[in-house]
Amino acid sequence: MFQDILVSGLVNSGVYALLALGFSLIFGVARIVNIAHTAFYMLAAYALYGLLVIAKVPFLLAIPLAVAAVVALSLVCYKLVIEPVRQHESAVLIATIALALIFQESLLVAFGGSFRGIPNAVEGVVSIIGVRVSYQRLIVLVVVAITLVATWYLLNRTRLGLAIRTAANDQEIANLMGIDVSRVAMYTVGISVALAAIAGVVVAPVFVVDPLMWLSPLVTMLAIVVLGGLGSLKGSVIGAFIIGYVEAITVFAVPSGSYLKGAVALTIMIVVLLIRPEGLYGVVFEEER
């Protein structure tokens, strides 16, 4: 049982981490609570489905196409919808909710409510210390690792990363230093949605694709991000592992209570917040004035 928990916890955490990273990034830099984040993830899954299953495009071509299409769409949405109301926090919030609803309803009209499946990139299973894991899940873990390193490198070792971090710290100062803040925000949105889209194309084969699929990972993702500390990439990954393992332990410890795994994970989040209101690795904001 112990090795079961170890392995299934690990693979589930990988899925969660990939989703949480992008959300955390856009909040950390642009202070946007992007409710539509998992909706972009859903769009990428549908784009992949359309390319792969309907248009019969080969895998290696379909994946970059799907990601690129979703990122392009997100930039258009950002320019048209979010940027004009950036100053109004509450308007941004429901603009992202409305966007998510628009995506959901468009997909519902275009594809209907049926569930769809996306074939795995690589078929087969491997046995890790006696526990069967499909290759697709291993791919997810590898992609998480690569994405994490790439994001860290981008933020800490490139000029764009420097600009993004400066803008995250203080928009006005960044402006004074000659940084085009609105362009930096654009880049951030692009990177963040790209992360969501990558999650969509590698994770979607593991799950089922349908127009309401954005809601349940949204809640888990928000819990992870809050638990880890908003805006902290390290926190998101660690949060993902905590929630992933909590869920696995719940399933193995109380099999007839496995429906409770979501509720248990959320309770853990609340408990952590009670002890550390800024999450595990969150920045302690000065009381904003």
For another protein (CB under 8 A), the number of binding residues is 93
Return the residues of window 38-77 that contact another protein according to CB under 8 A. Answer: 53
Choose which of 73, 186, 206, 283 interacts with another protein (CB under 8 A).
206
Q: How far is CA 192 from CA 74, 180, 196, 200, 221, in A?
A: 10, 18, 6, 12, 14
Q: Which is nearer to another protein, 172 or 287 (CB)?
A: 287
Task: Output the smallest distance, CB 244 to another protein, in A.
Answer: 10
- Confirm or reject binding of residue 202 to another protein (CB under 8 A): no
Pairwise CA distance, residues 196 & 70, whole Å: 9
Task: Output the smallest distance, CB 23 to another protein, in A.
Answer: 10
Other Cβ atoms within 10 Å of 15 Cβ, number: 22
Report, in this order, helix, strand and coil percent for the chain, each rounded to 5: 75, 5, 20
Q: Which is nearer to another protein, 163 or 228 (CB)?
A: 228
Whether 241 contacts 17, CB under 8 Å: yes
Q: How far is CA 196 from CA 193, 255, 264, in A?
A: 5, 31, 25
Instruction: Pick the stretch among 40-48, 61-69, 138-146, 264-272 that binds another protein (CB under 8 A).
Output: 264-272
Choose which of 2, 60, 176, 288 interacts with another protein (CB under 8 A).
288
- Confirm or reject binding of residue 159 to another protein (CB under 8 A): no
- Confirm or reject binding of residue 172 to another protein (CB under 8 A): no
Return the residues of window 79-118 that contact another protein according to CB under 8 A. Answer: 81, 84-85, 87-88, 90-91, 93-95, 97-99, 101-102, 105-106, 108-109, 112-118
Choose which of 156, 169, 182, 216 interacts with another protein (CB under 8 A).
216
- Enclosing H/E stretch for 128: strand 125-128
Which three-class secondary structure state does DSSP give residue 161? helix
Choose which of 8, 24, 151, 236 interacts with another protein (CB under 8 A).
8
Q: Which is nearer to another protein, 163 or 220 (CB)?
A: 220
- Confirm or reject binding of residue 205 to another protein (CB under 8 A): yes
Whether 36 contacts 28, CB under 8 Å: no
Q: How far apart are the first and last CA of the chain?
A: 51
For CA atoms 84, 86, 88, 90, the dihedral sign is positive
Which three-class secondary structure state does DSSP give residue 134? strand
Return the residues of window 217-256 that contact another protein according to CB under 8 A. Answer: 217-219, 222-223, 225-226, 230, 247-248, 251-252, 255-256
